[in-house]
Amino acid sequence: MPLSAAPPASSQPYLLSASLDNARHLSSLLRAVHFQDHATCFATAYGLRVTVEDAKCIQANAFIQAEIFQEFAIQEESVTFRINLSVLLDCLTIFGSSSLPGTTTALKMCYRGYGYPLMLFLEEGGVVTVCKINTQEPEELLDFDFCSTKVVNKIILQSEGLREAFAELDMTSEVLQITMSPDKPYFRLSTFGNAGSAHLDYPKDSDLMEAFLCNQTQTNRYKISLLKPSTKALALSCKVSIRTDAQGFLSLQYMIRNEDGQICFVEYYCCPDEDVTEA
Amino acid sequence: MRFRAKIVDLACLNHFSRVINTIAKLAKTCTLCLTDSKLYFILSDKVANGGVSMWCELCQGNFFDEFQMEGAAAEHNEIYLELVPENLSRALKTAQNAKTVKIKLTNKHCPCLRIAVELPSLSSSSRIVTHDIPVGVIPRRLWNEFREPSVPDFDVSIYLPMLKTMKSVVERMKNLSNSIVIEANLSGEMNLKIETDLVSVSTHFKDLGNPPWASEDGCQSSSQGRDLESMAEARIDIKKLQQLLAGQQVNPTKALCNIVSKRVVHFILLHEDVSLQYFIPALA
């Protein structure tokens, strides 16, 4: 992809250098985790992970693997920096956010290393935009220590089944309560708002249910204001996996197919608001 | 002082509405000048507007089927009214399917522009919706404030890039900074730049073309003899630029800007029957 304003060759190679023919492959995933201004970018040879956290109880990660990029070169084992995600998104979508068929913005991203800004070169229709975004010291991230061996309950649902439910969540409720059980009601979403409580049940043999692996009845509540941003990831995804561990920590993993049919993942981790485990 | 006009053609009405919508986006209050052949929407540069000024000219014959006006005095057959264009815009919104729209200057309790919209009706009698828009009559002694601005002695004149692209870029840049630098040269290159503590962004347009201006009296303008690559630049309020671009509902036939380095950017947007000039001063 020829760019007339390509970065000049210099004696110090870029620590991280990546190219994308379609910047939307990156911007749409970043939007799905954009609920705070700041994000931590973590790059390895496998690709890029962008993490956003809030209130020390919710964490969202967007994974863009190296194969999605047309070029992805990293000079060290890993590169980490903190960046203003709102600014990054404004730059990635500088030519507009509407996805008109046939128009794509090409992107080249370069990072020289600690203390240097992130450079973006974007091109659409012969017009070139160059962005220099300051980076900050990376902060320590939460470790939810959520591995598959600790999972108590797991469901995989087709996203279309949950989209309406999440878009219409009663936001006057402080919590979203999730019940997962090998017995009825199997999978229930509940809210307790000003107008009353609402329950949405999904039977385990529903067409939308791709996998139902629940061993124990668990009811956990999560702050609804923290989970609401996950609606963006749900809207983009085709499938979602919902898992809880013994402490009631929630893992939501969204499988997202981009415009070229490639698969990427976004995950949300959330701490429970109270421990309410029914026997 | 009298004024009455009528629009019967739906296409003319929609076109007129679009022009008023554009003006409404650019000015809260402005001056409407009526002559027997033209209408002008004028905003003169006051500190209150942030120093921007606007001059929009329409040929009445392209919009109105009937147009009669009588100015304050025989030798000065003009009428100057102060109005809020948003009021006019809202009144015209009700006229989307109108059979006719009549505009008349009245003075029942206070001076008003009366917009009478005749709507289609199933019965034999027509339905008429009337809007009375208060206007201020501007006395003759103040008319000198509303003369057509002269084209400034610019350093560079250049055609604007595709407005759609320019609009997207400026809208995003507005999220990042309060001011924007426009620079251009006589080789058809234009750059839009913002720079803050957090981020700097610059967008580069090429091959835009520079309009040929015939020099008056054969004397040199600031732009002649100028190095083709050298950039003329001005830092302006980004909101003003975004308002100008956002207000364009239809692509102009010709769009260009004249830059007087560090002083002012003069935008000219030409449609078939409307010309709009907009001056944005450089920030100190």
Q: Residue A72 maps to which CATH number?
A: 3.70.10.10
Contact residues on chain B for A132, CB-CB shorter than 8 A: 199-201
Q: Is A143 part of any domain? A: no
In sequence order, which residues have a C-beta less than 8 Å from that of residue A219 and are 6 or more positions away?
A177, A178, A179, A276, A277, A278
Same domain as A113, residue A20 = yes
Read off the tokens for A24. 């939307």
Q: How far is A233 from chain B (nearest CA, A)?
A: 23
Task: Clarify whether residues A156 and A266 are in a common domain.
Answer: yes
Grouping H, G, I as helix, E, B as strand and the rest as coil, residue A206 is coil
- Name the band, by pLDDT with cuts 50, 70 and 90, for residue B215: low
Whether the CB-CB separation of A186 and A201 falls below 8 Å is answered with: yes
- Say whether B204 and A86 touch across the interface (CB within 8 A): no
- Same structural domain, A156 and A226: yes
Q: Look up residue B229 and give its amino acid.
A: E
Q: Residues A155, A264: one domain?
A: yes
Buried (b) or exposed (e) across B221-236, using 16+ Cβ within 10 A?
bebeeeeeeebbbbbb
**Beta carbons of A129 and B165 less than 8 Å apart:** no
Q: Is the pLDDT of residue B51 over 60?
A: yes
Do A39 and A101 lie in one domain? The reply is: yes
B162 to chain A, closest Cα gap in Å: 10
From chain A, the residues in CB contact with B200 under 8 A are 131-132
Q: Which residue in B has a C-alpha nearest to residue A135's C-alpha?
A: B198
* A146 belongs to a structural domain: no
Last residue in a domain, options A111, A136, A161: A136
pLDDT at B220: 45
Q: Do A93 and B203 touch (CB under 8 A)?
A: no
- Asked if A134 is an interface residue toward chain B (Cβ–Cβ < 8 A), one would say yes
pLDDT digits (tens, 9 = 90+) for A63-96: 999 999 999 999 999 999 999 999 999 999 999 8
For residue A217, pLDDT beyond 70: yes
The answer to whether A132 contacts B200, with C-beta atoms less than 8 Å apart, is yes
Q: What is the pLDDT of residue A269?
A: 95
Q: Are residues A155 and A263 in the same domain?
A: yes
pLDDT at A10: 52
**Phi/psi at B82 (nearest 5 deg)?**
-100, 130
Q: Please write the tens of the pLDDT for every residue from B89-144.
A: 999 998 888 889 999 999 989 999 999 999 888 887 888 999 999 999 999 889 98
DSSP B247-266: T--S--SEEEEEEETTTEEE
Q: Roughly what angle, to the nearest 10 degrees, separates helices A85-92 and A24-31?
A: 150
Contact between B209 and B162 (Cβ < 8 Å): no
Q: Is the pLDDT of residue A162 over 50?
A: yes
Q: Look over chain B and give the mean of its residue pLDDT values, rounded to a whole number.
A: 91
Is A145 within a domain? Answer: no
Q: Give the tokens for residue A125.
A: 């229709």
Query: At B216, is the pLDDT very low, low, confident or very high (cuts 50, 70, 90)?
Result: low
Helix B238-246 with B10-26: angle, nearest 10 deg: 170
Non-local CB neighbours of A92 within 8 Å, separated by 6+ positions = A23, A26, A27, A30, A105, A107, A120, A122
Q: What is the dihedral of CA B243, B244, B249, B252, to 10 degrees?
A: -170
For residue B158, give the nearest of B189, B197, B127 by alpha carbon.
B189
Answer yes or no: do A93 and A157 share one domain: no
Residues A104 and A157 in one domain: no
Name residues 111-170 of chain B within 8 A of A (Cβ).
161-162, 164-165, 168-169
Chain-centroid distance, C-alpha A75: 26
- Cβ atoms within 10 Å of B258's Cβ, excluding its own: 24
A92, containing H or E segment: helix A85-92
CA distance A87 to A106: 18
Determine how many CB atoms are found less than 10 A away from the CB of residue B208: 18
Could you tell me which chain B residue has the CA closest to the CA of A129?
B203
A113 torsion bin: left (phi>0), alpha (psi -120 to 50), beta (else): left
Specify the pLDDT at position A279.
Answer: 35
- Summarize the confidence of residues B54-83 as an average pLDDT: 91
- Of the pLDDT bands very low, low, confident and very high (cuts 50, 70, 90), residue B59 is very high
Same domain? For A123 and A160 the reply is no
Residues of chain A contacting residue B164, judged by C-beta atoms under 8 Å apart: 96
The distance of A21 to chain B (nearest Cα, Å) reads 18
**A125 has a chain B CB within 8 A of its CB:** yes
* pLDDT band, residue A275 (cuts 50/70/90): very low
Comparing alpha-carbon positions, the chain A residue that sits nearest to B205 is A127
Helical residues (DSSP H) of chain B, grouped into ranges:
10-26, 85-93, 163-176, 238-246
- Judge whether A73 and A46 are in contact, CB under 8 Å: no
Our count of domains for chain A comes to 2
- Test B197 with A134 for CB contact under 8 angstroms: yes
Q: What is the pLDDT of residue A278?
A: 43
A120 and A156 inside one domain? no
Tell whether the model's pLDDT for residue B250 goes beyond 80: no
B256 in contact with A, Cβ within 8 Å: no
Nearest chain A Cα distance for residue B233, angstroms = 18
- Binding-face residues of A in 84-123 toward B, CB within 8 A: 84, 86-87, 90-91, 93-96
Residue A19 clears pLDDT 90, i.e. is over it:
yes
Name the residue of chain B whose CA is nearest to A93's CA.
B172
**Which domain covers residue A177, as residue numbers?**
151-270
Contact call for B201 and A95, based on CB within 8 A? no
Share of chain A above pLDDT 70, in %: 92
Distance CA A265, CA A67 (A): 13
Best B160, B172, B181, B192 residue to mutate vs chain A (most A CBs within 10 Å): B172
Distance from CA of A37 to the nearest CA of B (A): 12
| Preceding omega of B139 cis (within 30 degrees of 0) | no
Interface check for A132 against chain B (CB to CB < 8 A): the answer is: yes
pLDDT digits (tens, 9 = 90+) for A97-151: 765 667 889 999 999 999 999 999 999 999 999 999 999 999 888 888 887 778 9
pLDDT at A32 over 60: yes
* pLDDT exceeds 80 at position B217: no
Residue A37: its pLDDT value, please?
95
Joined tokens for residue B251: 């692509």
**Angle between the N-to-C axes of helices B85-93 and B10-26, in degrees from 0 to 180, rounded to the nearest 10:** 150
**Co-location of A175 and A226 in the same domain:** yes
pLDDT at A166: 87
Q: CA-to-CA distance for A157 and A241, rounded, in angstroms?
A: 6
Q: How close, in Å, is residue B193 to chain A by CA atoms?
A: 9
Tens digit of each residue's pLDDT (9 = 90 or more) over B12-36: 999 999 999 999 999 999 999 999 9
- Among B174, B199, B200, B205, pick the best mutation site for testing chain A contact (most A Cβ within 10 A): B199
Whole-prediction pTM: 0.89
Domain boundaries, chain B: 2-145, 156-216+229-281
What mean pLDDT is predicted for residues B196-214?
93
CATH class of B2-145: alpha beta
Which among A136, A163, A180 is the end of a domain?
Answer: A136
The amino acid that residue A60 corresponds to is A
Same domain, A169 and A117: no
Least confident residue range of A98-107, A260-269, B83-92, B269-278 = A98-107
Q: Is the pLDDT of residue A5 over 60?
A: no
DSSP E strand boundaries for A86-150: 106-111, 118-124, 127-133, 135-136
Task: Point out the domain boundary residue: A83, A107, A136.
Answer: A136
Closest residue, chain A, to B194 (C-alpha) = A131
pLDDT greater than 90 at residue B57: yes
Q: For the domain bounded by B156-216+229-281, which CATH number is listed?
A: 3.70.10.10
Question: Would the CATH topology of B2-145 be identical to that of B156-216+229-281?
Answer: yes
Size of interface A-B (CB pairs under 8 A): 58
* A230-260 pLDDT per residue, tens: 999 999 999 999 999 998 999 999 999 998 8
Using CB atoms, pick whichever of B164, B175, B199 lies closest to residue A131.
B199
